[in-house]
Amino acid sequence: MTFAERFALYWKLTRMDRPIGILLLLWPTLWAVWIAGGGHPSWRIVAIFTLGTVLMRAAGCAINDYADRDIDKHVKRTRERPVTSGKVTPREAIMVAVVLMLLALLLILSLNALTLMLAVVAAFLAASYPFTKRFFAIPQAYLGIAFGFGIPMAFAAQLDTVPLEAWLMLAANIFWSIAYDTEYAMVDRDDDIRLNIHSSALFFGKYDVLAVMLCYAAMLSLLAAVGVRYQFGTPYFAGLLVAAGIAIYHYRLIRGREREACFKAFLHNNWLGAAVFVGIALTYWF
């Protein structure tokens, strides 16, 4: 196999061909980078956290394919993934993940000790999340912690402390993750039942749509509380209002529980995260 062919497999293994995961991980990190930086974070910090997000998401995908190699082969949507199809060995997947995590570590070595300690926790969360669907009823909640740990890290890197607002934002991200990943899980509901895998869509059952909307409401309420504590102005709350409108649009998509519509709602969460970020950026701009 040529280098180009092997690189293409690793690219697919780390889901670099599907950037939605990067965006859903990046938006909450950027919320925190901007707020902790008083609306004017250094571009060095922006670059470190942006590239670190990309690397950690890629590493997480490699570990996920390793963990699910015996599951993915039974699902039509995932049976051609590099590890389960035999094109990439499990050992290769782990090596790719380790290299990516080491690169992410190198990025933050110049930051303070608190950020480094939080990075160790973040690495553990990213590595362990893929295994939670085997025993945890709502693995999407664990995903929210793993996907949102860039929030306390961003505050730590710039303030050398993690204030209450950071933890409120992390809690908001947990609810957001449950919302959008339940939409995703609604697509795979039948396969998860057959394979005896836990998911929030199965846990919530016939109340799945209601649960998604309540999670959106909790997320926006927590972010509103952050805005009140920081005495943010109209642009911030306008961003939350736009995000609320997007959440209502998602309700229209998922209420019929059709697979394609649920997946469309999942992908569309990128715009919800972007709306919140624009509100934050405009708050400091004006």
pLDDT at residue 61 tops 80: yes
Contact indicator for 165, 38 with CB cutoff of 8 Å: no
CA angle 221, 222, 225 (to 5 degrees): 90
Query: For residue 232, what is the DSSP state?
Result: -
Tell me what the mean pLDDT of segment 232-250 comes to.
98
Q: Which residue has the higher pLDDT, 137 or 208?
A: 208
**Tokens 């990516």 -> residue:** 100
Tell me what the mean pLDDT of segment 183-193 comes to.
80
pLDDT digits (tens, 9 = 90+) for 15-34: 999 999 999 999 999 999 99
How would CATH label the architecture of 3-125+137-285? Orthogonal Bundle (1.10)
Q: Where along the chain do its domains lie? A: 3-125+137-285
Choice among 62-66, 112-116, 165-169, 213-217 with the minimum mean pLDDT: 62-66
Which pTM value belongs to this model? Answer: 0.93
How is residue 170 written in tokens?
Answer: 């992390």
Mean pLDDT of the chain: 92
Percentage of residues in the chain with pLDDT exceeding 70?
99
pLDDT at residue 284 tops 80: yes
CB atoms inside a 10 Å sphere around CB 95: 14
pLDDT at residue 189 tops 80: no
| Coil, strand or helix at 199 | coil
What's the pLDDT band for 35 if we cut at 50, 70, 90? very high
